[in-house]
Amino acid sequence: MALGKDTVSTQAADRDVPATSKSGALGAGIEIDGVSKRYLSGSRWVTALEPINLTVQPGEFVSVLGPSGCGKSTLMLMVAGLLPPSSGRVVVGGREVTVPLTDVGIVFQNHLLLEFRTAVDNVALQEIMRGTPKAEARRKAHALLDRMGIGAAADRYPDQLSGGMRQRAAIARAFIHNPAMLLMDEPFGALDAISRVRMQHQLEQLWMDEYRKTVLFITHSVEEAVRLSDRVVVLSSGPGRLVEDITVDVPHPRPLVIDEDPALADYSRRIYELFNRLGVFDD
């Protein structure tokens, strides 16, 4: 079962689109070396994340999967340079992260679009702030919105868009400046089931066909992680620790429903069995 490309407007071919993986460009590699996080809660120290060692290759799509409170989002914020680690270091593209990264696209569960700007102007703002002329930035924004299947809604304001449309605009905003890395924190968690599957498909197509960026994807959905990822990194309940790093050896594109591929279904069962052994489902 696969969606067709009827949602992709041919108008995108007539506009400027950032450099693609077809030219050989890949994202930046990530090295997470002994990274942990502790914080002060009242008068006591709490460990949110035990030391993690993880390498993400350039152009690889890696999901970090685990129950709520295991430190997934904390790990992503440390990779982005938005939160300092308590120990260890993060290296992106060969450089240690000590300040917030700029060559990165970030997508959160909340779209964070500015309500007083249209979809196209929200997407273009990322480029304009980097010095791109407004007309050129808007051309790029239109191209990405077309590619995401919402070109016809480019001039609508966020409150005139569905939840799925708002998230597609947020993803376009993350891609427009052609970042070396994409960090996604539960980007589809607030969507209904049908919109969520559609968004997974569109993200996979965008990553696979156009923008082969390094992706660190935070989720608590086993099926979502297995369907999208080259690798699934499984964390235990908090304090989070890395319990398994699973390579999903199934080529892209993948079916919308993982049960249609026995190999994907096996990966999903394996992860559920792992969570069961860890006591994640215990009362």
The pLDDT tens digits for 10-58 are 333 333 333 333 333 567 899 999 999 998 888 888 899 999 999 999 9
87-92 β-sheet, strand order: 44-56, 30-41, 87-92, 95-96
pLDDT per residue of the chain (283 residues) written in tens, 0 to 9: 333 333 333 333 333 333 333 333 567 899 999 999 998 888 888 899 999 999 999 999 999 999 988 999 999 999 999 999 999 999 999 999 999 988 888 988 888 899 999 999 999 998 998 899 999 999 999 999 998 889 999 999 999 999 889 988 998 998 888 888 999 999 888 788 888 888 898 889 888 876 678 999 999 999 999 999 999 999 998 899 999 999 999 999 999 888 899 999 999 999 999 999 988 887 5
| Per-residue pLDDT reduced to its tens digit, 163-188 | 889 988 998 998 888 888 999 999 88
3-state secondary structure at position 128:
helix
Contact 72, 242 (CB under 8 A): no
Q: Which of 84, 64, 28 is nearest to 185 (CA)?
A: 64
Q: In whole angstroms, give the CA distance from residue 227 to residue 222.
A: 9
* Interatomic CA distance for residues 156 and 116, integer angstroms: 10
**3-state DSSP call for residue 42?**
coil
Q: What is the DSSP letter of 22?
A: G
What domains lie within the chain, and their CATH numbers?
A: 10-278 (3.40.50.300)
Whole-structure pTM value? 0.85
